Structure 1
């Protein structure tokens, strides 16, 4: 049996030299299952057994082929029989293919790692950078982004309304409806906004119609509080940076500045987006924490009261645990802010 299935027996003449400096002598070489057997061509006496996995070819591509039993060995074997040379080359190829290849594995792992990094760069990095940037921004930078977006919004709505008395009333309303230490920046616009819209920097833009249509400020307060819950659920800075893209976000993260051009047109997109529904129970809790009457706003949203039942059932006004949103004079000044 031989190491190759296609040969039951394979042997040929060759020239063998046991040590460097010795004369080459004629031998017969036979391919075995795991060894190459070298015998004297006259007596048939075995002279050497070479392990097939250890054999190396000294002169690849040349004929006669010159072999050695291993690295650094003086012993050599010269074969010019093409069938035996081809068989030995095939055996060597099979043996090499079955050996572990650390370099190949390393290359595969490196390629997989590179693909993973590329995938992260394309799919994970932009979102991660936007989230991280939004988390580390100081409030002053959030305010600046909000101011830039107000300017962008003004292209569609006109400049925010302002009178001395009305602006003072808005300041007091922002303090009244903000959480402790977190006053809101409230602006009124004539057109373009149907109800209310939140922007970075705790900025809420409201429509003039909310001032003209209702007798008391509680409905306006409800729209503002609903926008604040939306902003707390989905950071408006993160949404703006998603729009701006990776390049401007990276610049903001490294320099603290967001190019105005990066968010141009973003507010137009906001105006076309339907408002995200607000959990009535969470909104009812905010009304109760701030002691604001919730019934008028609830009836404005749903006259039947079915979808806003928590706002009606826990209305602070029903149990006397409420405080005015604005004084009557401030409410009148606010209603006149766009005149």
Structure 2
């Protein structure tokens, strides 16, 4: 740092003291290249100060008293007749101070950046990470428990699940045929509430009674059941639920293993009111092929004209084949009376 050009070669009289125990001496102070040279009246050099390391002991007061930073015992005073020298020192010190890094400001910005990162993590990363972790660690038995709790609340709205003694085994055989032997108890037929189908954590699939009573053949009902299972495979039912109920719900389930009654009630109402999630034609066809089910009866049930489901009709994976029957005629007739009316 070079002294400001207008103040170069500036000299002024002052009073210098090396230590508090020494006598004060009249001196000549010369302003040089960002430094002060202190000379006695015979021009012998007594001290050499760097202005960058000069501090003022009495800001705004006169006589102006300076000392080396960290050593207030050595002092240099300027009276009112050294106004130009005081002004020069102050301007140079200000310029030097401005060019220095400000640790306080740096700490402020670093702290702010860290805080912003933490907040951003809590807002954008934490909810998703917590959700994914919760979905991964919740065991099957807890999922089934949550599904049963939801079903209990749904039936308060829809009415008690339909079941007759004659329909019990046909319903289990239908579930086994469409979903696999391990899912024999997965189907629940409701007298109302759900418009068509819905699925719950734990594997339950809900059917409106009309999907049992109205179709002429069980292939239609099987198609609706399988399509709902494909939706459940597209997105984890527990994950879907926790997205709807929010961050606190995930945290509560993770830490206590429980969900609040309010969350269960809100989600059961959401399930009954939502529209079925759309599935791609390719996913549906692949699923029907794996299950050895015809897509054509389901396609015409969705759209009686077949216009919007033409791809399902034309790409029926069982066309020209003889797939296993969904149910026997006798079982189908018994199943259609499941609601006992």
Equivalent residue, structure 1, for 2:27: 27
Shift of 1:272: 2.6
- 1:128 maps onto 2:133 in alignment: no
Q: What are the within-5 Å matches in structure 2 for residues 166-205 of structure 1?
A: 166-178=167-179, 181=182, 185-205=186-206
Does the aligned pair in 2 maintain the 1:305–1:312 contact within 8 Å?
A: yes
| Normalised TM-score (structure 1) | 0.87
Structure 2: unaligned runs, 5 residues or longer: none
Per the TM alignment, residue 103 of structure 1 is displaced from its structure 2 partner at its CA by 5.1
Matches within 5 A, 1:225-304: 225-304=226-305
Q: Give yes or no for the alignment of 1:149 onto 2:174.
A: no
Residues 1:40 and 2:40 are matched in the alignment: yes
Contact residue 177 and residue 184 of structure 1 kept, 8 A: no
Cα 1:212/1:19, change in 2 over 3 Å: closer
1:291–1:321 CA contact under 8 A, matched in 2: no
TM superposition shift of 1:285: 0.9
Bigger shift: residues 319-328 or 280-289: 319-328
For residue 180 of structure 1, report the CA deviation from its aligned partner: 7.1
Tell me if the contact between 1:281 and 1:310 (Cα under 8 Å) persists in the aligned partners: no
Find out whether 1:68 has 2:97 as its counterpart. Answer: no
Q: Is the 8 A contact 2:289 2:318 kept in 1?
A: no
Deviation digits for residues 192-240 of structure 1 (CA, Å, limit 9, x no counterpart): 2221112211111111111121111111111111111212222221222
Change (3 A) 1:253 1:234: same
Q: After superposition, give the CA deviation of every residue in 1:252-279 in whole Å (9 maximum; x if it has no partner).
A: 1012111222221323223332222111
Find the aligned partners of 1:225 and 1:6 in 2 and give their Cα distance: 90
Structure 2 residue 336 is the aligned partner of structure 1 residue 332: no
Taking the aligned partners of 1:248 and 1:268, their CA distance within structure 2 comes to: 16
Superposed displacement of residue 152, structure 1: 1.9
Hey, what does 1:139 align to over in structure 2? 140
Question: With structure 2 as the length reference, what TM-score do the two structures score?
Answer: 0.86
Distance 1:60 1:299 in 2: 92
Task: Name the CA distance, whole Å, in 2 between partners of 1:243 and 1:58.
Answer: 65
* Aligned position for 2:208: 207
Does the Cα contact within 8 Å between 1:243 and 1:263 map onto a contact in 2?
no
TM-superposed CA distance for 1:153, in Å, is 1.5
Deviates more, 1:54-63 or 1:247-256: 54-63
- Give the distance between the partners of 1:192 and 1:5, measured in 2 at CA: 89
Partners of 2:4 and 2:334 lie apart in 1 by 101
Aligned residues: 338
User: Is contact 1:39–1:45 with CA below 8 Å preserved after alignment?
Assistant: yes
How far did 1:14 drift?
1.0
**Separation in 1, partners of 2:62, 2:142:** 79
Of 289-298 and 89-98, more deviation after overlay is shown by 89-98
Q: For residues 74-96 of structure 1, what are the alpha-carbon distances to aligned partners after superposition, in whole Å with 9 as ceiling and x for unaligned?
A: 64322334734454344334323
| Per-residue deviation, residues 295-325 of structure 1 (Å, max 9, x unmatched) | 1111222344454344323434422241111
- The reply on whether 1:94 has 2:129 as its aligned counterpart is no
Comparing 329-338 with 237-246, which one deviates more in the overlay?
237-246
Structure 1: any 5+ residue segments left out of the alignment?
Answer: none
The answer on 1:223 being equivalent to 2:224 is yes
Query: In the aligned structure 1, how far is the partner of 2:60 from the partner of 2:173?
Result: 93
Task: State the superposition RMSD in angstroms.
Answer: 2.9
1:16 alignment partner in structure 2: 16
